[in-house]
Chains A and B, each alone.
Chain A
Amino acid sequence: MSVTQVSVFIENREGRLAEVSRLLSGKDINIRSLSLADSSDFGVLRLIVDNPEQCIQVLQENGFVARATPVLALEIEDRPGGLDRVLSLFSSNGINVEYMYAFVEKSHDNAIVIFKTGDNGRALDLASREGIPVIRGEALFSR
């Protein structure tokens, strides 16, 4: 049920991000969402793409360290308290959110948020039980 995110190590150097986008564009890989976390000298680029396997392959072939990371994609009501409902659920059940970021695009009236948690399996069960829509990988690209 989880979604495959591509995580890439990127040095804080001119042109490195552009190199990633150039490689993906060359393979017709579509980026649906991304987040960049950085320190002063490096960054970790997290991508949701339509073809994660091919994406990892092309990046590795070009010298990047890239790997697949399972994450959750949840639909969250786009109104006050929407995000709080999910985060309270996780926190009251002792699930640590390591990072999260949102899709730009909305699903009907809901926002799509990507979560990486300390226990993705339990987080997924909890969300399903609470009736929070969980989105499958394929579904992210068929909209």
Chain B
Amino acid sequence: MSEQEYLSRESLRALQSERLVRLVARLYQHVPFYRERMHAKGVSPADIRGIEDLPKLPFTTKDDMRDVYPLGLLAVPLTEIEEIHASSGTTGKPVIDAYTRNDLDIWGEVMGRTLEMGGATSADIVQNAYGYGLFTGGLGVHYGAHNIHATVIPISGGNTRRQLAIMQDFGSTVLACTPSYSLYLAEAAREEGLDPAKFTLKYGYFGAEPWSEAMRTEIEKNFGIKAYDIYGLTEIIGPGVASECVEQAGMHINEDHFYPEIINPETGEVLPDGEKGELVITTISKTGTPILRYRTRDITYFMREKCACGRTTVRMHRLFGRTDDMLIIRGVNVFPSQIEEVLLRFESIEPHYQLIVDRKEHLDNLEVQIEMTSELFSDEVRDLEGIEHRIESEIASALGIHAKVRLVEPKTIPRSEGKAVRIIDKRKI
């Protein structure tokens, strides 16, 4: 438990102000990208005297992060970096988060808070089924479990039968994975003749993809647990940006580290509390790759009233969607433009394609429909299947997800005036 979660508004603002002023000085001195952006906006570190001056500073977008790939946002010498993570970017170039010791400590602390907020303690056994690797989910939960001195089982994602066996053999009390995977696990358990409600699990921490209250009810009923929504993104730190407490009344933002704003996505203007808009985050305490006013593209609103749990940190509502066309498929961020780029590598393919997303047996499926052309056509099924498989493997290597490619007849994908309908999301979330 951290006292920063219970600060008075005044003390918290003082802490945020002090951290922001120091951050801006560091960025101006060490990161040419931010120095130029600040010059362009006509603002200098002397203009930033407190958190109220934040709107004077420039935004950072995912495209910016791509443009400075790989380490253009580094604010310390590379020798001070202890770990690097990455997530998929808009055009195949990943977004990088480079952590100093300070940043890894922050990450462990905020993930420790996440686990404790839901009730987990050092006595708990955390089955961590988020993927370990460049993806931030696995190690984020891992460091959080260490932070609260819980036992962590680093089983990573997949291998469902083994998950179930380990869950029973070790008596796991906490499950951390994507919400859809938890339902898949419950179903797999029942298929093996097991009742997941009789497992020793008490809490589940679910994130990395959108879900709903209806799914929460289903997960809680299936396992007989409390299911919590957690929020984070690689650009900021990974999981640990915000999470629910036992009240399950919005996610407490760890705003002593991640200063949040809600803006009008059209104008960039900061909106008052309670109004729905785009979430923007500034990492006021990070030292490796700190970010100014990162536009998350996630839509939510803030709840400022004191929570029944006693924490004073601002809460954000469960996400309402996005301001761009990003899809989250089995926890992987996918932009239609990435798929388009893969398709354009095949000369005979016309840019008539559509992405169909569906959720079957609780797992997301992506189908890419591509219109047949005279150039692409062969009268041998083997050749056509070969084309489908080649595109599937190109998508897999570019995006890290399996998509089913399906050739369709010409003119079957709806055309519209202006913007083509590229995505049909049939998931009922």
Question: A11 on the interface (CB 8 Å rule)?
Answer: yes
Question: A69 on the interface (CB 8 Å rule)?
Answer: yes
Known: A7-B379, A46-B379, A65-B373. A39 touches B385 (CB 8 A): yes
Inter-chain contact A64/B381, CB cutoff 8 Å:
no
**B:348-399 near A, CB below 8 Å:** 372-374, 377, 379-381, 384-385
Inter-chain contact B379/A42, CB cutoff 8 Å:
no
**A:88-106 near B, CB below 8 Å:** 98-99
Name A's interface SS. strand
Q: Which of B108-116, B327-335, B408-416 binds A?
A: B408-416
Question: B153 on the interface (CB 8 Å rule)?
Answer: no
Please give me the residue from chain A that is nearest to B377 by CB atom.
Answer: A65
Please, which residues of chain B bring their CB within 8 A of the CB of A43? 381
- Option from A41, A69, A116 in Cβ contact (under 8 Å) with B407: A41
Please, which residues of chain A bring their CB within 8 A of the CB of B412? 11
Question: A63 on the interface (CB 8 Å rule)?
Answer: yes
Inter-chain contact B409/A10, CB cutoff 8 Å:
yes
Inter-chain contact A63/B411, CB cutoff 8 Å:
yes
Please, which residues of chain B bring their CB within 8 A of the CB of A46? 379
- Total A-B pairs, Cβ < 8 A: 50
> How big is chain A's contact interface, by range?
20 to 34
Inter-chain contact B384/A65, CB cutoff 8 Å:
no
Inter-chain contact B374/A65, CB cutoff 8 Å:
yes
Please, which residues of chain B bring their CB within 8 A of the CB of A9? 372, 377, 384, 407, 409
Please, which residues of chain A bring their CB within 8 A of the CB of B408? 11, 42
CA distance in complex: A44, B382 (Å): 10
Please give me the residue from chain A that is nearest to B371 by CB atom.
Answer: A65
Question: B35 on the interface (CB 8 Å rule)?
Answer: no
CA distance in complex: A46, B379 (Å): 8
Name B's interface SS. loop
Please, which residues of chain B bring their CB within 8 A of the CB of A39? 381, 384-385
Please, which residues of chain A bring their CB within 8 A of the CB of B407? 9, 41-42
Known: A9-B407, A16-B409, A63-B411. A69 touches B377 (CB 8 A): no
Inter-chain contact A65/B372, CB cutoff 8 Å:
yes
CA distance in complex: A41, B384 (Å): 11
Inter-chain contact A64/B380, CB cutoff 8 Å:
no
Please, which residues of chain B bring their CB within 8 A of the CB of A44? 379-381, 384
Give, as a whole number of angstroms, the nearest-CB distance from A35 to chain B. 10
- Option from B380, B385, B409 in Cβ contact (under 8 Å) with A65: B409
Inter-chain contact B379/A67, CB cutoff 8 Å:
yes
Question: B257 on the interface (CB 8 Å rule)?
Answer: no
Question: B318 on the interface (CB 8 Å rule)?
Answer: no
Known: A39-B381, A44-B384, A46-B379. A64 touches B410 (CB 8 A): yes
Inter-chain contact B385/A64, CB cutoff 8 Å:
no
CA distance in complex: A80, B408 (Å): 42
Please, which residues of chain B bring their CB within 8 A of the CB of A7? 377, 379
Please, which residues of chain A bring their CB within 8 A of the CB of B379? 5, 7, 44, 46, 67, 69, 116
Question: A37 on the interface (CB 8 Å rule)?
Answer: yes
CA distance in complex: A11, B374 (Å): 15
Please, which residues of chain A bring their CB within 8 A of the CB of B286? none
Give, as a whole number of angstroms, the nearest-CB distance from A87 to chain B. 18
Give, as a whole number of angstroms, the nearest-CB distance from A45 to chain B. 9
CA distance in complex: A64, B377 (Å): 11
Question: A53 on the interface (CB 8 Å rule)?
Answer: no
Inter-chain contact A38/B381, CB cutoff 8 Å:
yes
Please, which residues of chain A bring their CB within 8 A of the CB of B385? 39
Inter-chain contact A99/B384, CB cutoff 8 Å:
no
Please, which residues of chain B bring their CB within 8 A of the CB of A37? 380-381
Please, which residues of chain A bring their CB within 8 A of the CB of B406? 41-42
Offer 15 A-B interface pairs, CB within 8 angstroms, sorted by A.
A9-B372, A9-B384, A9-B407, A9-B409, A11-B409, A37-B381, A42-B381, A42-B406, A42-B408, A44-B379, A63-B409, A64-B409, A65-B410, A67-B377, A99-B380
Q: For the A-B complex with A44-B384, A64-B409 known, give 13 more contacts whose Cβ atoms are closer than 8 Å.
A: A5-B379, A9-B407, A10-B409, A11-B412, A39-B385, A42-B408, A43-B381, A44-B379, A44-B381, A65-B373, A65-B410, A67-B374, A67-B377
On B, residues with C-beta under 8 Å from A are 372-374, 377, 379-381, 384-385, 406-412
Nearest 5 A-B pairs (CB), nearest first? A7-B379, A37-B381, A63-B411, A65-B372, A9-B372
